Amino acid sequence: MKFNDLTKISVGDHIEKKNGLSYLSWAWAWDTFKKSCPDANYEIWKDEMGRPFIYDETLGYMVFVKVTANGESHEMWLPVMDNQNKAMKANKYTYTTKKGEFEVQAATMFDINTAIMRCLVKCIGMFGLGLYIYAGEDLPMVSASDLIDGMKVKALGAYCKRLGITIEGLCKLYQVEKAEDLTEGQFAYIVNNEQAIKEGVHSL
């Protein structure tokens, strides 16, 4: 099954909302994806000691998953986060906001396993299944400095014209009201993945 077909599969009944983010059931996602692409398989990255994560004392844990189907492979990564979407580390730590001081607990293998399965679903999304639920997932945490500037907004206008899509369609794909609400990271993905963007917009 092609990207365009997978984007048309409704995932709404299998989405869980948590702290402003949307999560798709990994069991349902893999079952649906496997039925659509029977040759699909996935790999969980492991280090030389067999651990399924990398760890940095300052940054925290990161997991990686690779999915292959129809002769195409995609890789994805995801930090291990708590229920407030804060990076988890080997030891608990505190952080301060306007609302006060908060504590992040030390990561457990349960947290790492949860991140791996969420990473798998995110990687499946690169093939089209449920991709739209991730398009705007970073928006609640975006600051003004993360948004694209006027020159890039103009560049997107020419980009969309060349691909035969509209700015409105692109914004709908990323669940934003206007191009100015797109982030630098989203812009980089858009301009480097023309075919995926074109197919994604046309499938809406």
pLDDT at 141: 39
Question: Residue 188 above 50 pLDDT?
Answer: yes
- CA–CA–CA angle 162, 132, 28 (5° rounding): 140
CATH number assigned to the domain covering 3-134: 3.30.390
pLDDT at 183: 79
Nearest CA among 110, 47, 54 for reference residue 77: 54
> Each residue of 50-75: pLDDT tens digit?
999 999 999 999 999 999 999 999 99
Q: How are beta strands 54-56 and 60-69 bridged, if at all?
A: antiparallel
**For the chain, what are the domain ranges?**
3-134, 144-202
Give one DSSP letter per residue of 25-65, joined into a string: -HHHHHHHHHHHSTT-EEEE---TTS-S-EEETTTEEEEEE
pLDDT at 111: 96
pTM for the full predicted model = 0.65
